[in-house]
Amino acid sequence: MRYLVINGKREEIPPFPHHKAYVYQCKQFFFAKGMTTHFTMTNYVTLKELYQGVRNKCSIPRDLLLDPTSDCNLKCKGCWSQDYKSGHNIPYEKLDDILDQAESLGIMECLMTGGEPLLRKEDIIRLCRKHNKMTFGAFTNATLIDEALADEMVELGNFNVFISIEGTKEETDFRRGAGVYDKAIRAMDILKSRGIAFAFSACYHSKNYKTIASEEFLDHMREKGAWFGWLFQYIPVGNDADISLVCNAKQRAYVQERIRDYCIKHDYVIIDFWNNGHLSFGCIGAGVGFVHINARGDVEPCAFCHYSDSNIYEVSLADALRSKFFTTFRNAQPFSNNPLRPCPLIDNPQAIIDVVNAGGARSTHLASPESAEALAGKSFERAKEWEEKSEELFKRMPEYVQRNFPRFLRYFAFKKGITDGRRKNI
C-alpha cells in the first residue's frame, strides 16, 4: 500500500484510477529526482507512453484536457472564457468517442476545463462511470458543488475537482464576483468532510501574487482540505487582455522561490506551471504531456495556446497528435535550455510565431481570433526581463535539478527520435 502525508496525516493511496492516486502520480512526476523515479512511477506509465508513442508514431500525452462546454456561469475579470461565444458544447456521444480514442492510445487521465465544466456535471458523471479505468478531474469555480455531487464523487472514486480561488475573499470576489469566495470555501468543506482529494487552483497576477505565495494562504488551503495545488500565471490571451495583470520578472521570481520553499518545508505538492519548467523538464504541450480539445473540437497544444490545424470532428485524436502543427511544435521543444523559461507563449514569444506559421496553424480563440504575432507582442519585454532573472534563479535550484535536467533533455530528444523521427522515415 502506498501513502502520502497530507496535512500531517498519513493517507492510504488506493490503486489508480482513484482520485487520490492521481495526486500521488502528480507528486511522482513533478518531483522526480532521477530517471529511475520517472520511469518507474505508477504502473510504469512512462514506459507505456513510450511504447504507445512508437506504436502510434507520435508522442502520447499523459493528460487529455477537454472542454465539454465554452459556457460559464461567471464572468471573471481577465479570463478569456468570459468573451467566448456561448453555445459551444461537445455532445455526450462525441465526448464518449474522444475518451474511447484516448484509452486506445493509452491516455488514462482526463482533465475537464472550460468554460465551467460542471455545467455538464450529469454528462461528466456518466463518462466517469463508463470509463471507470480512467481518472477524471475538473477545473471549476465550485459554485455548482453541493452535497449530492460530493456523494456521487465518493461513489465514483475516479473524479476529483480543482477549485479556483484568487487568494483572500476580497481578491477572489474582485475577479470572480461577489459571494464566489464563500461558495468556494463551502465546497471545500463539503469535499473535505467526505475525504475527497481535491486541489485548489489559483491564477496569480500583479495584484494578488504576494497573497498566493504567502504561508497564510497556503496554510489555509491545506486546513480546508486541499491535497495539492495548481498555480497559473495570468497569461494575456485575447485581443482585449489586461496587460497590467501580467507579473513582471521580480514578481514572478517572488512566487517561484516562496512556492518552492513551501513545498520543501511541508512536503506538499504545488504545481506552478511556467515556474515549474525545471520539474516538468520544459514545455509539455502538443502531446509531450498535455493535449487540449476546446468546446468547438479544435485540438490545441495546451489550454492556453489557442492555435490548431486539426478538429476532432474531422480527424482522429491520433491523427491530430501526428498533425503538421503538433509535429512542428514538438520539434521546436525545448524552447530554451533554461528550464525556468519553458513556455513559447510568455518566455520565448518568438517561438510561438515560428511554430504557428511553420505548422500552418490558425487562431482558435473563439470570440476574437488573435494572430501569433499579436499574442507574442504582449510578452517580448517581460520575456527579456525574465531571461535575465531566471538564469540567476536556476543557479540556486537544488543540485538534483541541475544534474537531472540535461539528462531529461537527452531522453526527450531520444523520445522524439523514435516517435516523430520514426514517422518521418515511413
Q: Alpha-carbon distance 203 to 130, whole Å?
A: 32
- Could you give the CA distance from residue 138 to residue 65 in angstroms, rounded to a whole number? 9
| Residue 303 near residue 65 (C-beta atoms within 8 A) | yes
Q: What are phi and psi of 27, to 5 degrees?
A: -65, -40
> Could you give phi then psi for residue 23, rounded to 5 degrees?
-60, -45
Q: What is the mean pLDDT of residues 138-159?
A: 97
**pLDDT for 425 beyond 60:** no
Average pLDDT over residues 225-235: 94
The crossing angle, in degrees rounded to 10, of helices 180-193 and 147-156 is: 40
Residue 410 pLDDT more than 90? no
Give me the phi and psi of 379, to 5 degrees please. Answer: -120, -10
Judged against a pLDDT cut of 50, whether residue 426 lies above it is answered with no
The string of pLDDT tens digits covering residues 378-389 is 999 999 999 999
Query: By three-state DSSP, how is residue 54 classified?
Result: helix
Whether residue 163 has pLDDT greater than 90: yes
On average, the pLDDT of the chain sits at 90
Of 123, 387, 86, 78, nearest to 234 (Cα)? 78
**17: three-class secondary structure by DSSP:** coil
Residue 138 is predicted with a pLDDT of 98
* Three-state secondary structure call for residue 289: coil
